[in-house]
Amino acid sequence: MTIIAIDWAFIVEKLIMIAIVVFASLGIALYTTFGERKVAAILQDRPGPSRVGPFGLFQPLADGLKLIMKEEIIPNAANKWLFILGPGLAMTASLMTCAVIPWGSAVDVFGRHVALQIADVNIGILYVFAVVSMGVYGIMIGGWASNNKFSLMSSLRAASQAISYELAMGLALIALLMTTGSLSLKTIVEQQVSGRYWNIVYQPLGFLLFFITALAECNRTPFDLPEAENELNFGYHQEYSSMKLGFYLFAEYINMIMSSAIMASMYFGGYDLPFFNEASVAPNIAALIGVGTLLIKIVMFIFLFMWIRWTIPRFRYDQLMNLGWKTMIPLALFNLLLTGAVILAKL
C-alpha cells in the first residue's frame, strides 16, 4: 500500500537540475569577478589580471583559494550566531532566486520530458520578490552583528535603499504583468517566444525603471552606498574575513546574474533566439540553443552592469532617495497609467 506516490525519478531529476544550476551559478559568479576586473581594466586602458594562467584565466581560482586560506576572524564584541548567519542568509537568498528562472524550453533525456526550470511556480515573480527582499536581511544581520558603527550604518543604508527601490520595482513590474496577465516566468517567456515582439517593445519605460531598480537591489554602482569604501571603510562586510567575506562578495555577483536572468526572461524573450525557427531543428538542440541564448543575454546584461559601474560615480545619499521617491515612483505610476490606458483602448 502506498500512502503517497513518490515519483523518485522526478526528485532525482530536480536534484540534478538544482545541482547543475547552483554550481553553474557559482562558476559563472567566479568568472564574473574576473570579468569585472577585466572590464574595469579595459575601460581604463589597462590590461587587467594577466599573470595567472593564459590571459589571467586562472585568476579567480587563485582569488578563491586565497579567500578560503585566510584566517576566520569573529570579533569579540560580535554576536557570533548572527555574524555567521549573515553571509549564509545572503548567499542562500541569492541562490534561491534561480529556482523559478526558465533556463530553456525542455529536453527529452532517457525517455523523460525534462523542463529546464527547477520549479514552474505560478507566482514566480512574487517568489523572486520575496527572496530578493530576504537578501537584505543577510546584509542587515551581518552589519548589525559585527558591532561596528560603520557596518551598522551601511546595513541601515542597504535596508532603506532596498525598501525605497523595491516599491518602484514592483510598480514597474505590475505594468508588465498587466500586459502578460501571468505571474509565472515560464508563461511570460513562452508568450514572448510565440508572440511577435519581446516585452521590451511594450514596456520600454517599465524596463528602464526595472533595470535601474535592479542596479539598486544588487548594490551596484551608482547605488553601492552600502559598501561606499570612502565613507564607510568597507560597509557591512568590514569585519568579515575569509570565506564569510567570500560569501558576501559571491552573493553580490550571483544577485547580479539572477537579476540579469530575470530581466532577460521578462523583457528580452528569455531563451528565445530572434529570427530563428525552433521547430526547424530537433527539440533537444533547440532547447540547448535556447539555454545558450539566455546565457548570452545574461552576459550582455552583466557587461552592462559593469560598464555602468566603471562609468559613473556613486550617488549621494539624498540624491539616491530623491531619485527613488521623487522620480522613479512617479514614473512607474505614470507607466502604470499609460499601460492601463492602452489596454483599455484596445478592448
Partner 1 sequence: MQALTNKAQAVNREPMTFWERLYLINIIKGMFITFSHMFKKQPTIHYPEQKREFSPVFRGLHVLNRDEEGRERCTACGLCAVACPAEAITMEAAERVAGEEGLYREEKYAAKYEINMLRCIFCGLCEEACPKDAIYLSETFAPANYTRKGFIYGKTDLLIPNPKTEADALAMAKGVEA
Residues contributing to the site for partner 1 (CB under 8 A): 42-47, 50, 208, 307-308, 310-312, 322-323, 327
Measured from the CB of residue 49, what is the shortest distance to partner 1 in angstroms? 12
Rounded CA-CA distance 278/197 in Å is 16
Rounded CA-CA distance 66/64 in Å is 5
Measured from the CB of residue 242, what is the shortest distance to partner 1 in angstroms? 31
SS (H, E, C) 222-286: CCCHHHCHHHHCCHHHCCCCHHHHHHHHHHHHHHHHHHHHHHHHHHCCCCCCCCCCHHHCCHHHH
Our CB check for partner 1 shows the closer of 18 and 208 to be 208
Measured from the CB of residue 312, what is the shortest distance to partner 1 in angstroms? 6
**What is the CB neighbour count within 10 angstroms for residue 211?**
19
Our CB check for partner 1 shows the closer of 78 and 306 to be 306
Our CB check for partner 1 shows the closer of 105 and 203 to be 203
Measured from the CB of residue 304, what is the shortest distance to partner 1 in angstroms? 9
Our CB check for partner 1 shows the closer of 137 and 303 to be 303
Measured from the CB of residue 332, what is the shortest distance to partner 1 in angstroms? 13
Cα dihedral 270, 107, 15, 292 sign: negative
Give the SS3 label for residue 107.
strand
The cell 560615480 sits on which residue?
313
Our CB check for partner 1 shows the closer of 180 and 219 to be 219
State how far the alpha carbon of 284 is from the alpha carbons of 46, 193, 291, in Å.
42, 16, 11
Give the SS3 label for residue 113.
strand
Measured from the CB of residue 263, what is the shortest distance to partner 1 in angstroms? 17
Nearest in space to 102 (alpha carbons), one of 125, 120, 123, 127: 120
Among the residues of 59-181, which ranges form H helices? 59-69, 80-96, 124-145, 149-180
Our CB check for partner 1 shows the closer of 103 and 305 to be 305
Burial of 273 (0-12, 13-18, 19+ CB in 10 A): middle
Our CB check for partner 1 shows the closer of 276 and 307 to be 307
Measured from the CB of residue 291, what is the shortest distance to partner 1 in angstroms? 28
Residues pairing with 106 in the sheet: 115
